[in-house]
Amino acid sequence: MISKAQFDKEIELIIANAIREDVGDGDHSSLSCIPASAQGKAKLLVKDEGIIAGVAFAKQVFAYVDPRNENGGVN
């Protein structure tokens, strides 16, 4: 069994590797069309009760990509 600190470090490595693999130096089309200062927002609308998995992980990913966002972009 690994410690919480080691688990958190492993998650951080997974996120870093995924971003490096999927994003690299950025999407050149987006970089040429969207100003660096642009901010986006999304709203999830659900039609029925349910369970959403992965919210904590998504917050970590968003916070990794933009550390200025304290709550990881998920309210």
Six token digits for residue 49 = 């009760």
In the chain, where the domains are located: 4-65
For 20-29, letters b (16+ CB in 10 Å) and e give: eeeeeeeeee
pLDDT in tens, the chain (75 residues): 899 999 999 999 999 998 887 777 777 888 889 898 988 888 888 899 999 899 889 889 988 888 886 665 555
Neighbours of 38 (CB within 10 A): 8
Q: List CB contacts of 59: < 8 A, sequence separation 6 or more.
A: 71, 72, 73, 74
Does the predicted model carry a pTM greater than 0.75? no
Q: How far apart are CA 1 and CA 47, in angstroms?
A: 39
